[in-house]
Structures are given as structure tokens and as C-alpha cells.
Amino acid sequence: MGKTIIISNRLPVQLQISNGSITAVPSVGGLATGMKSVHKGGDSLWIGWSGLTDEEIPNELAKDIDKALAAHGAAKVNLSDKEVEGFYYGFSNRTIWPLFHYFLEYSEFELESWNTYKTVNQKFADAILEHADNDDTIWVHDYQLMLVPQMVREKRLDISIGFFLHIPFPSFEIFRTLPWRKEILEGLLGADLIGFHIYDYERHFLSSVRRLLGLEVSFNEIYLENRVIKVDSFPMGIDYKKFHDAAKVHEKTDSNQQSELQQRLNQHKKNDPEAKFLLSIDRLDYSKGIAKRLNAFEYFLNKYPQYKEKVRLVILAVPSRSNVPQYQLLKKEVDELVGRINGKFSTVSWTPIWYFYRSMPFENLIDLYTSSDIAWLTPLRDGMNLVAKEYIATRTHKTGVLILSEMAGSANEMNEALLINPNNFEQIADALNEAINMPIEEQKARNEVLQRRLERYNVEKWANSFMNSLQAQKNREAYNISKKLTDSLLAPILKKFEKAQKRLLFLDYDGTLAGFHVDPKKASPDEDLYKLLDELSQQKNMELFLVSGRDKDTFEDWFLHKKYNMIAEHGVWISRKGEKFR
């Protein structure tokens, strides 16, 4: 068993240059935390961009950086300013990110950024090939690196490759608008296992593969000429123990040792014990629906005026991609909305919205999670949304209410939350009213179920589940290769076939009788194939069936006049000897 190589856009460490020396500090984040068990659990290497461009790294420190990263089991991919601009800020975040989150109007289709994306993906693939042995396991992460699996596969046919997409995969109608849609799909199909957060994303991907590439798809498997690719869903969890234990420690902290933020929260509770804190934490991203949430909050205050001075919305908007124009416009819009709503409803003693535009350390996140009565998270699209899970994990007394958008991937696992449509202000206002008045017993009943589920399927379980599935898929492939029909196996089968009194022969069409093609005309039978099938069907005591996933109309055009038995669309339709499909 070889080593595990993890590949992501960013490394799990941050480099800091100070006084001519380099320090590597471990990152605190979902992926870095999630991969800890895989990265630290055995022989492994993490490959990614260091966060510093070629222009930012002094020549005399280049070797020191490599040593600092090696101490953390990491190796860097070198990127220039131009490559980061075109690959990351360009194609990844001005094309793929908005498109995959259904913001088609924000997507930019620029050939130059696409070419840079290809160039950088090749750099990552080359880095893998430099470090990988044939018995290693490769795990590639996320939308920035969707071409990498096939680039590696072209050089290492037998190596084990997994890919996980951390954002939604859009419906076929959205995905088909991408000019380089086939190249993206073909890049992903270099993997043995392709993972998504939820089944909906998996279903969209399989639909695009079938309709754009014309490949045979059966349930959650894609059939290539020499390989079978498995596609599955693996909902990402959190480090439940970390958040739950931190909340317990927080409860025992003396008031004089609490943070300034916690003391401010405490004062608010002291002034009005019946007042409720509503918590909203997101990156400042148009997919998170922050502007709509603010408008919905205004709608709520107008519909339920009795809650004026009785609720406070705490918004933490973490800065993100501030050099991308759409994010600059969003920041302006959110600032203006907060100012307008506070100006409209504020009193001498009450400001309805506390707005923080900055990152917060872990300790302050715990302050917010444990002090908030309601977590209100309404993304317009979100691959998962781990904040919802983190909030529930910190509720040590099992009180608190989660209001969650049904557009978040985590909604599939969190039916005990109050699920809402983020575009329905009426429903949101009613959900806020329900949350404010929810009995303690009901809060505890809902959260107890959620906590048990989150504790059981934590982030370590997610990572291990993916790795085990990848290993099982590779083992299955090795088993199938070992069972190929050799001459020694074929001889006794032919002997038995010749002696049989009755013979039933099922022949798969695509990939067996004809090659895989997107265009049905290119896969149509020729005279040689008709002749072969005629000879087989006319043999004594022979019952012949042609089997395919193709549509019945195509099969009727090709074979109905020949009066073969046919099964089309994976068993949905059957035709017996010249009869119409039924």
C-alpha cells in the first residue's frame, strides 16, 4: 500500500515571511480539518499552492519554504501573479463558481482565462506525477482542479484517483452553457471515484455525462472502454467534538476572562433577558443570499412589529474575493441595506442589526454560536453549509433553533431544522416567529436528533468513507481485470455452449458489439455486424437478445426489421422478434 497524495488549490498551512525567515502555520478550515485523519494517519503528502506567488517569494528563501512545507507533509506548486489572476480569480471564480451556483448572469466565458486554467491544472498534475508512485492513492479536491484527474490518468493508467467537488454541480441545462463543458467532464472522468455532497449534484453530473458525452451510465456508474467510474454522494461533516467541547469550556469561563464580544453579548442579555439573538454567518458571496436575508428581516419587522426592540440580528460577513467586481457591488449593497434598515427601525436603546465585516477567530465564533437563540442561514445555493452544523454542535443544552435554506446541501441531513425557501419572505417571517416562540422541549427534541447525527457522521467519517469507497472501487477494477476472458477460460465455455440443448445469449450493444459514440449514427450497425447476428440467431435452439441503454426508437430503426429480441433503455422496453417495443 503506497502513500496518499492530497491535492487542493491551497495548502493546509499558511506561510509567513518575517525578518528574512519563513514560518509555516497550520490553517484552520473545513478541508484542512476534514483531511487531518487522512493526512496525519499514515504516509501522505499534500500538494497545493502556498498562497505566495513567484513574484512574492525571494529567491534566497525558496529552499527554506520547501523545507518548512516538508515539515508539515506538504509540497508547493509554483504560480505567478498572472496565473493566479487567470486561473483562480478568472476561470475558477468568474466562470465556474457563478455557473455552478446558478448565477449564469455573472459567468464570464473568456478563452484566455480558460487557457490559464488548463496550464495551471497541468502544473498540479505534473507535481503529482513528480511525487507519485503507481501504488499511491490520489485525492483531488474541488472546482479549481477539475482537469487534473485525466491529466494524471494519461501518464499513470493504473494509479488510484479520487475527486471530490465541494460546491454544487448544476443541472444539465445550466452546465451545457459552458463552452468547455466536454473538456471539464472528460477531465473529471480520469478519476476512479467522483464524489459530491448530495445525490442531487450526483444526478446532475451523470445526466451531463450521458447527454454530452454519450457514455453508458447505469445507476451511479459510468462505463468507459477499459474502466468503470463510480459516482457517489458523501455529505461532509464537521469536527463535532472540537465545537462541542469548545462550547463546554466556554460555559465555564469566568466573566472577567471572557472576550470583549462576549461581554457585549452578555450586556444585551442582561438589559433584556427576553430578547432574542438571530445569528447570520457567511462569506460575503452572492450565493449566500445576505442581501435577500436583510430584506426579509425588514419584512419580518413590518409584519411582526411586536418584535421591535425584542430581536437583534448579528451578521458576520467574512471578506471574500474583494477584487472581483460582483463582490465589490455586493459589499456596497449590503452596507447600504444595513444602514437603511438600522436608520428606519433604530431607537435610542436598540439597533436591530449588528454588522461585522471581518474574519473572526475561533473563540469569537464560539461566543456567537453559544449566545445566539436562532441561527438563520439562507443561502441561495450552497454545496453544503457547515456553519449550520457548527451551530448545532455548540448547543450543549440542546436549546436553540436553526432556520436553514432548503437550497443548502446540509438541508438534506437536517430536516429537524426549520427549512425555508430563501426567496419567500412570507415563509421566512413566519419561520422567525415560530423559532422565537418554539417551546424549549421542542427545541431540545429537534436538536438532540441533529446532534446525534452530526456526531456520528463527522468530518473524519466523511474522509474515511470516501477513501474506503475509492479503495473498494479500485479493488473491484483489479478483480474484473483478473477475470478477463482468456483462451483457457473461453475453451470450456464454447464446449458447453456447443453441447447445450437450449442456448440463451444476451449481447450488450454499446462497448461490446459497437464502440461508444455520442452520435448514434456513428454507432449504427454495419453489414458485418448484421451478418454475425443473423448467423447467431439462426443457430439451432438459440434465443438471442440485444441489450442496450439506448432509446427504443433508435433500436427499432436499427434492428426491428431483423426480428431480433431486443431490450432497450436498461430494461424499460422489450421487443420480441419483430414486435413493437412494450
What's 399-453 look like in SS3? CCEEEEECCEHHHHCCCCCEEECCCCHHHHHHHHHHHHHCCHHHHHHHHHHHHHH
Q: From CA 573, how far away is CA 547, in angstroms rounded?
A: 10
Residue 380: what pLDDT?
97
Question: By three-state DSSP, how is residue 214 classified?
Answer: coil
Task: Give 314-323 pLDDT, tens digit per residue.
Answer: 999 999 888 7
CA atoms within 13 A on the CB side of 402: 35
Handedness of CA 156, 160, 166, 171 (dihedral sign): positive
Query: Contact, 300 vs 429, CB < 8 A?
Result: yes
Q: From CA 95, how far away is CA 492, in angstroms rounded?
A: 57
Residue 57: what pLDDT?
84
Burial 132-157 (b: 16+ CB within 10 A, else e): beeebbbbbbbbbbbbbbbbbbeebe
Query: Contact, 387 vs 282, CB < 8 A?
Result: yes
Write out 79-111 in H/E/C secondary structure: CCHHHHHHHHHHHHHHHHHHHHCCCHHHCCCCH
Task: Give 401-422 pLDDT, tens digit per residue.
Answer: 999 999 999 999 999 999 999 9
All cell numbers assigned to 154: 494519461
Q: Which of 8-22, 320-334, 409-423, 542-556 holds the top average pLDDT?
A: 409-423
Q: From CA 321, how far away is CA 338, in angstroms rounded?
A: 21
Q: Quick check: 485 pLDDT over 80?
A: no
Chain position carrying cell 454542535:
393
Q: From CA 233, how far away is CA 262, in angstroms rounded?
A: 38
Query: Which one-letter DSSP state was computed for residue 571?
Result: G
Residue 518: what pLDDT?
56
Q: Comparing 137-151, 356-370, 459-473, 519-533, which segment has the lowest mean pLDDT?
A: 519-533
The candidate with the shortest Cα–Cα distance to 363, out of 255, 260, 240, is 260
All cell numbers assigned to 432: 422567525
Task: Give 284-339 pLDDT, tens digit per residue.
Answer: 999 999 999 999 999 999 999 999 999 999 999 999 888 788 899 999 999 999 99
Q: From CA 406, how far away is CA 411, in angstroms rounded?
A: 5
Task: Give 48-103 pLDDT, tens digit per residue.
Answer: 999 899 998 888 888 889 898 998 899 999 999 999 999 999 999 999 999 999 99
Query: Contact, 525 vs 513, CB < 8 A?
Result: yes
The candidate with the shortest Cα–Cα distance to 221, out of 472, 414, 504, 552, is 472
The candidate with the shortest Cα–Cα distance to 221, out of 197, 234, 202, is 202
pLDDT classification of 255: cutoffs 50, 70, 90: confident
Q: Which domains does the chain have, with CATH numbers?
A: 4-233 (3.40.50.2000), 240-451 (3.40.50.2000), 487-575 (3.40.50.1000)
Residue 271: what pLDDT?
82
What's the predicted TM-score (pTM) here? 0.86
Q: From CA 197, how far away is CA 288, in angstroms rounded?
A: 17
Long-range contacts of 562-571 (CB under 8 A, 24+ apart): 562/530, 562/533, 562/534, 562/537, 564/533, 564/537, 570/218
Please state whether 66 falls in left (phi above 0), alpha (psi between -120 and 50) or beta: alpha
Handedness of CA 267, 270, 273, 275 (dihedral sign): negative
Task: Give 129-148 pLDDT, tens digit per residue.
Answer: 999 999 999 999 999 999 99
CA 268-389-309 angle, 5° bins: 25
With a pLDDT cut of 70, the percent of the chain lying above it is 96
CA distances to 144, 172, 274, 509, 549 from 212, rounded to whole Å, are: 21, 9, 57, 19, 15
Q: Is 526 a catalytic residue?
A: no
pLDDT classification of 467: cutoffs 50, 70, 90: very high
Q: Which residue has the higher pLDDT, 415 or 482?
A: 415
Q: Which of 54, 200, 245, 508 is catalytic?
A: 508
pLDDT classification of 484: cutoffs 50, 70, 90: low
Q: What is the mean pLDDT of the chain?
A: 92
All cell numbers assigned to 206: 451523470
| Ranges of H-type helices in 253-401 | 260-271, 290-303, 325-345, 362-371, 386-393
The candidate with the shortest Cα–Cα distance to 168, out of 203, 140, 196, 207, is 196
Residue 481: what pLDDT?
61
Question: By three-state DSSP, how is residue 580 classified?
Answer: coil
